[in-house]
A and B are shown apart, each in its own frame.
Chain A
């Protein structure tokens, strides 16, 4: 048992090292700079904490009557104990002081990670000091990156002047991180035990436990972050130096994401409504606070939220795997472009002159063009839907994949109409009552801020419609169709109508997103609408949680927002996607925030046990509460 648990700790350390290696290989330490080492240690502490907590909770789930205190006789340190007497006295000591065992486990894991990091960075440093070029093989392993990892200056690396003490410090830092994590878990231990024994409610009602403190902190977090983001944006306040823009973006992403959790953490009813409304106000004020760059990223994120919500109707609700979803995005974008950009096509210009309209001025404004773009995309959805009505699974995926490419190739080759690869330029900007708010708000709202605001409002609207539809008889018909198409039909579901509605509504949302995208980009080209857009949209709903609107927002924040934060390592985005998807599928097969329906599947009882007690300890809402509350609907309301 002792050996097992030591092996477990070492394994945890190895996984931590693997994770950190990835960060090092893509050059994160070099980007963080001087404080890279403490940041990495902090990240690994967080990782150890999650792991140890999970182990402890697992243990409790298996031996509920024992509690945490009773378990501490089998810590990892015993691997070295060779005398039985030693063992029993230590056993007694540890039973009396449960925290020590967890701390030792953390220490072992931290030592493993630290040792490996020290060895690897030592090898790199030695190689560089002796003039061996690593960069041609691992392009981010440059002196600045390795130096940040060891905590010295790049010059010292190149001249091979790194002292041995540095590596010792490295090891100690990670070992300390592990120990801290262990202590943190044992500090929450008594609460964990109570919660596991008496259930969430008892622990919750019995006064200011760690659980309710954690809950309160969880709800407060997004507000604090939003306030902080606003504060560091004030003129005269400087923090993070040249990285300020990136840090603010990262904090915005975290604030928005944690907002979704905050709504879930709050008690259903009045508390939840108040939190949702306040957060909604906070998020809607973001476009006024952020700068042009951050707004443009957030705008893109929420354009993809709309895409995700639309694709979710087709894939998540109706269960029709659509790999050509970009087609409707392109249709929406090009429809708006046709209507609002000066016409380059001689045919259309000629036609317009005949009709007495000047070909140089936009035909329709943003709002007038909106229904046209939505309708065109919806028609596209139906046109795709009709031929694939009888196809299922793989066949459907392949045909839709082709459809997406067909639309892009049309745009590329219908040069007379679409200007081919040269694209459509000077697409007009959305205005409100004839003026663009970006120009008349005392400089508070940048042009990208205006796009972000529109994206926020539109995606809230889209989410609202999607959630309402899903909870109606149409949503039930979609889900029934996904479960068993033949039986659904025999039960009375009109398959043709139900499928086409899914395609059309999904396409409409993509059309809206496409139009906003065109307005954001001002100039659009066929290459904006490749297969990768479809894959991005699909990946974000899978990562976020198929069928769960709140999950989709998280997925978009993670998959469209984070790569912008990691601009410098953008070329590793695809690798990150892959790694993230693989990890997600293992850790949370139903997504970060799975829909109530999917989480009821109950995968692994052990895993469910962990989820329960893990969440109990943090004072999160219990599974049942989430399932019973209209949490999905409310979760989304914060962006409204």
Chain B
């Protein structure tokens, strides 16, 4: 399997703080990979580097063989990388449908003149865009909510709408920043099921940040762990769970000693 996304020595420094420190990572096509780590470990910063919001000082990011470094966020989205946000950032006063239509912005090509003249081609494109936006909303489970202004949607639906908007740009790689944060168990289950369907039905590679260990362990095929900007572990969920450094990073050194000492003495 070839790597769809490959990070080499990626480093991002803010003033004196190295938020992402020399991270190497490979993400295989059609895989589900989780990025975990304690608060402030640099997970979201790494996402921001991937989507062009930050430019890493050192390192290379290759997506499907070509570099993403120095590209604008919209160019990166055009290459096929889309994302959602940790704190929901929808276009609040737009309806659900309009949010997804903005997501499709890059895939629409009718000129602005043709929009003024309402040419047939522009009308057809617009119609098709609306249809596919509806289909995407149905896909994430927001059928019937098309005309609801997005701030009026319930919290869980807003998260789903963010996914639908990201899907609008027809991504190959989807970055989900804590998709299950603040959700109740049934909403979390819905989201996990959606993530699986995204991969299985649409063939989208998933790279997600998550704090809920239950989600991470059940959904991921591979897990990477960041601590103080450094990647301290990588592997299958089982491998990562057993990794001493991971336990230490999460629970502190003393507990880690007990944890590792426990099985040895027993």
Contacts and interface: CB of A to CB of B under 8 A. Distances in A.
Do A and B belong to a common assembly? Answer: yes
B101 interface: yes
Contacts of A465: 116
Given A480-B91, A598-B93, A491 B102 contact: yes
Interface stretch (A209-217, A407-415, A482-490, A551-559): A482-490
B74 interface: yes
A528 B51 CA distance: 48
A72 B169 CA distance: 59
Contacts of B126: 472-473
Contact of A469 (B82, B112, B149): B112
A492 B103 contact: yes
B244 interface: no
A190 B143 CA distance: 40
Contacts of A600: 93, 149
A487 B89 contact: yes
B94 A483 contact: yes
Contacts of A602: 152
Contacts of A492: 74, 77-78, 102-103, 105-106, 169
Nearest to B85: A487
A476 B98 contact: yes
B94 A474 contact: no
A480 B149 CA distance: 13
Q: Which of A479, A480, A495 has the most CB of B within 10 A?
A: A480
A472 B77 contact: no
Interface string B62-102: 00000000001110011000110100010111100010011
A491 B105 contact: yes
Contacts of A484: 89, 91
Contacts of B222: none
Contacts of A477: 102, 105
A495 B74 contact: yes
A601 interface: yes
A461 to B, nearest CB: 10
Given A472-B126, A600-B149, A490 B52 contact: yes
A284 interface: no
A584 B125 CA distance: 40
Nearest to A477: B105
Interface residues of A, number: 30
B53 A491 contact: no
Contacts of B52: 490
Interface in B141-158: 149, 152
A468 B105 contact: no
A41 interface: no
Contacts of A597: 93-94
B202 to A, nearest CB: 18
A486 B53 contact: yes
B165 interface: yes
Interface string B161-183: 00001101100000000000000
Interface in A452-476: 464-465, 468-469, 471-474, 476
A483 B91 contact: yes
B106 to A, nearest CB: 4
B110 interface: yes
A494 B109 CA distance: 13
A471 B101 CA distance: 12
B138 to A, nearest CB: 20
Contacts of A486: 53, 73, 89
A479 B99 CA distance: 10
Contacts of B129: 473
A473 B92 contact: no
Contact of A501 (B89, B112, B168): B112
B101 A476 contact: yes
A626 interface: no
B108 A473 contact: yes
Contact of B94 (A464, A473, A479, A495): A479
Nearest to B166: A491
Q: Which of A477, A486, A489 has the most CB of B within 10 A?
A: A489
A493 interface: yes
A166 to B, nearest CB: 55
B91 A479 contact: yes
Interface residues of B, number: 39
A477 B112 CA distance: 12
Interface in A338-388: none
Contact of A494 (B51, B74, B89): B74
Nearest to A467: B116
Contacts of A473: 101, 104-105, 108, 110, 115, 126, 129
Contact of A487 (B72, B91, B168): B91
A499 B165 CA distance: 22
A532 B101 CA distance: 39
A469 B110 CA distance: 12
A495 B105 CA distance: 12
B79 to A, nearest CB: 11
A484 B89 CA distance: 8
B78 to A, nearest CB: 6
A465 B110 CA distance: 16
A558 to B, nearest CB: 26
B195 to A, nearest CB: 20
Interface in A470-522: 471-474, 476-477, 479-480, 483-484, 486-495, 501
Nearest to B51: A490
Nearest to A479: B94
Contacts of B105: 473, 476-477, 480, 491-493
B48 to A, nearest CB: 9
Interface in B242-261: none
A597 B168 CA distance: 22
A598 B91 CA distance: 13
B118 interface: yes
A490 B74 contact: yes
Nearest to B76: A490
A486 B77 CA distance: 13
B88 to A, nearest CB: 10
Given A468-B118, A487-B91, A493 B149 contact: no
Nearest to A600: B149
Interface in A566-586: none
A495 B75 CA distance: 11
Contacts of A493: 74, 102, 105
Interface in A600-614: 600-602
Contacts of B94: 476, 479-480, 483, 597
A465 B115 CA distance: 9
Q: Which of B85, B92, B101, B115 has the largest number of chain A CB atoms within 10 A?
A: B115
B34 interface: no
B118 A483 contact: no
Contacts of B82: 491
Contacts of A494: 72, 74
Contacts of A501: 112
Given A491-B103, A494-B74, 14 more contacts: A468-B117, A472-B126, A473-B101, A476-B94, A479-B91, A479-B94, A479-B98, A486-B73, A487-B89, A489-B74, A490-B53, A491-B74, A491-B105, A492-B78
Interface of A: 464-465, 468-469, 471-474, 476-477, 479-480, 483-484, 486-495, 501, 597-598, 600-602
5 contacts: A473-B110, A479-B98, A491-B103, A600-B149, A601-B149
The 7 A-B pairs at the shortest CB distance, nearest first, are namely A472-B115, A492-B106, A483-B91, A492-B77, A490-B73, A480-B102, A489-B73
